[in-house]
Amino acid sequence: MNPASLIPVAEPLPIPWGWFDILLVLTFAVHILFMNALLGSAAIGLLRAMKGDAGLARDVGDKAPPLLALTINFGVAPLLFLQVLYGHFDYVSSVLMGGWWLAVIPVLMVAYYGYYAAKFGWESMGAGKRNLLLAVALSCLLYTGFMLTNNMTLMLLPEAWTEYFTASGGFLNLSDPTLLPRYLHFMVGALAVGGLFIALLGRSKERDDYVATGMTWFTRATMVNLLVGFWFLLSLPRPILLLFMGGSQPATMVLLASLIGAGMAIVAGLRKDPVKSALWAVLTVLFMSLTRNWLRAFYLAPWFTAESTPVTSQYSSFYLFLGFLVGGLGLMGYMMKLYLRSRERRA
């Protein structure tokens, strides 16, 4: 069977591709930064709690419900842009994963409930029960991340979709050699940024021990992630690997910029400077998100290119979107102002 026959026809775009692509990369980077702060700090806090020191787990646990809400909300935005640009790949892979994919919703609800229950029942729960609850919530996040990596890789491989005809239910992309290094690359990155989040929290709470612990996690995890990143790079199909090794100038440049960013982040981390580390970390995540965007385009090139998508040049909905975006941001700024003012008054 020719896998191309399984790819639905691309829907026309109302405005040129680039607009959606920029928004996809930007919102994805924000999503990943929030996810990292949540998952990484929750994992580090839990490890500490299991060694008998629950203070850090309590402080990061307080931030977990809002961080989870922000991760999910900033996940919706790239999901919408992804569906506009790559819906004919991503919808198919989502459907093929079946129950594995659908389970993400109840699993995330368990994570939410777990973090809320731990936050509000902290004093009344024993350490054992509390750690178990935090471990269940963390496993739910790890599951969700794994499903996303499965979906994001399966959508790139129409030749793997034919498994549908022999599999008895939904299936995962387990035979893809890039799956594990790609997933680990995101998870080790989460430990690094989670550490940085703890250091920044320590800075605002004037807790030097948090700054020291957080910066150590940030620096070491980023060093390990350089190795995991190379493993991921080497696991790519050879023609794509060569494109990142000079075959495509822009792709090679963004990968190089990401590596320089990671190097600078490690230097700032070794100097125990959370603010500079945060700046380099954000830049690195942005460049890595761009690199990942190139990777997707290279994988899909045999089946589909951005230029082949018809554009209808109907700008009215785009202007409406921009209007709501600016209006929404203004309203959010106003709400933040009211909130901060009321906090000052209470203090």
List residues binding ligand HEM (CB under 6 A): 24, 28, 31, 35, 39, 68, 71-72, 75-76, 78-79, 82, 108, 141, 144-145, 148-149, 152, 182, 186
Q: Which residue is nearest to ligand HEM (CB)?
A: 75
**Residue pair 60/119 in contact by the 8 Å Cβ criterion:** no
Give the Cα separation of 283 and 291 in Å (integer).
12
Shorter beta-carbon distance to ligand HEM: residue 186 or 218: 186
Shorter beta-carbon distance to ligand HEM: residue 85 or 268: 85
**Residue pair 234/213 in contact by the 8 Å Cβ criterion:** no
Shorter beta-carbon distance to ligand HEM: residue 141 or 255: 141
Cβ of residue 46: shortest distance to ligand HEM, in angstroms? 15
DSSP label of 248: S
Cβ of residue 105: shortest distance to ligand HEM, in angstroms? 8
Burial of 249 (0-12, 13-18, 19+ CB in 10 A): exposed
Cβ of residue 28: shortest distance to ligand HEM, in angstroms? 4
Shorter beta-carbon distance to ligand HEM: residue 141 or 196: 141
Cβ of residue 248: shortest distance to ligand HEM, in angstroms? 19
Give the Cα separation of 256 and 301 in Å (integer).
22
Burial of 292 (0-12, 13-18, 19+ CB in 10 A): buried
Shorter beta-carbon distance to ligand HEM: residue 197 or 268: 197
Tokens representing 10? 């691309």
Cβ of residue 52: shortest distance to ligand HEM, in angstroms? 27
Task: Report which residue type is found at 184.
Answer: L
Other beta carbons within 10 Å of 143 = 17
Partner residues linked to 13 by β-bridges: 311
DSSP 77-100: HHHHHHHHHHHHHHHHHHHHHTHH
**Residue pair 24/81 in contact by the 8 Å Cβ criterion:** yes
Cβ of residue 289: shortest distance to ligand HEM, in angstroms? 7
Cβ of residue 110: shortest distance to ligand HEM, in angstroms? 12
Shorter beta-carbon distance to ligand HEM: residue 83 or 252: 83
Give the Cα separation of 53 and 51 in Å (integer).
6
Shorter beta-carbon distance to ligand HEM: residue 76 or 336: 76
